[in-house]
Amino acid sequence: MKYGFLALLAALVASSACAQSLPNATPATHGEASSAPGSGVSSMDPQRDIVLAVANPVEPPATHAGSSLLGYAPSGFYGAGQRAISNLAELKRRYGLREVTGWPIKALNLYCVVLEPPPGMARDALLKALAKDERVQLAQPLQDYSVYAQKDADAQSYNDPYVNLQRGFVETDAALAQNVSQGSGVRVAVVDTGADTSHLDLQGRIHDTQNEVDNDEASFNRDSHGTEVAGVIAADADNHQGIVGIAPKAVLSIYKACWYPVGTNSGARCNSFTLAKALAAIIDTDTRIINLSLGGPADPLLDKLLSQLLSQGRIVVAALPPNGALDGFPVNRQGVIVVRESDTSTAPAGVLSAPGNDILTTQPGGGYDFTSGSSMAAAHVSGIVALLLDLAPKLDARSAHDLLLRSSKLSKGMFQVNAASAVTALRDAPKASR
């Protein structure tokens, strides 16, 4: 079946007449297969590449959302239809584009590709030309995103139970809240780096994983940021290990969309391609909570996917960027619960505050350490929302946000979310309001 598909595409390429190129465009290199799912990420350049989408109205045998144009994957794959194949081949020839990788987004009826512009052509000029092409549904820069955490280099590493050192756990009265709810069975999607699936405090808490970056399992388990976020949300309780998560019986799905660039000391990076694949995959699940401890510029494709998720009743929790701006992805979308680190200053309207400084949490290799950032603040709120959904499964994002805001309390001079107050308020509310 695979070879028949390749032969069909080759025939399409061979039989099509060469169209006139844009000024300064060079002929495309033909016969290049799209990368396997998640591959080629390290070769992508946010300063150079673009994301392009064409209509994909035909649904062949099912495939999964992260598969590429030329590679069949196991069952569950949703691939490119004839119209998408033809249009992409023509567009690559017409504009002298080199395909890096491609993937289908079933929920939007689109097929997307990451493309490298031809040498000598300005990206802005190319995007303007593509915007006028009737075959193009979307054309935009490949955006760059980052996670919002900064590890304290001087912090000590711990290997023993330290629940009393969990600043966020103590300040939000999570132990009291867990007398009422522990988030039992509530699904939380963590879109982040990978996470240490073998960590004793995360075993039994991670239900499934999906790698949208590469096929490196060892690297997935070495990733620190996703491990930290996972521990704050759902580290196991009463297991004689380390710490306790805010919702210790919640179920995590880890979507690796961010990675640590080789040879640098910078934080984890993500891009439009990897984030879009992760969000598209979540659309096909029943996960209620999505934790996005990351952010960057506004992005048309990601906004479409986020809108779809919100329209399905998902509760999206996002970290406020360090500069406090609310104009980028994902915090610029109405309906997203935005969280900042607790501070004595007044929070922007509607933004929640949660502990995010010197947070003790899980680390790769079975350890524990302190970390800081609005990433950790968002993780605390995702955990509290899991406690609420355990009590009221039909609770919507607006109601959850308003409940968390009005039940927030002063703690050490800072107004921040309180797990016990939120759970108590929901438990005591009339059933009709849940």
Active site residues: 192, 225, 375
**DSSP category for residue 412:** T
And the tokens for 383?
A: 């955990």
Amino acid residing at 427: R
**DSSP category for residue 8:** H
Long-range contacts of 406-415 (CB under 8 A, 24+ apart): 408/352, 408/353, 411/171, 411/172, 411/342, 412/171, 413/344, 414/342, 414/343, 414/344, 414/353, 415/342, 415/347, 415/353
Distance in angstroms (rounded) separating the CA atoms of residues 250 and 24:
55
With a CB cutoff of 8 Å and minimum separation 6, the contacts of 93 are: 13, 16, 18, 19, 27, 28, 30
Question: Contact 418/409 with Cβ under 8 angstroms?
Answer: yes
DSSP collapsed to 3 states, 44-87: CCCCCCEEEEEECCCCCCCECCCCCCCCCCCCCECCCCHHHHHH
Backbone angles phi, psi at 121, to 5 degrees: -105, 130
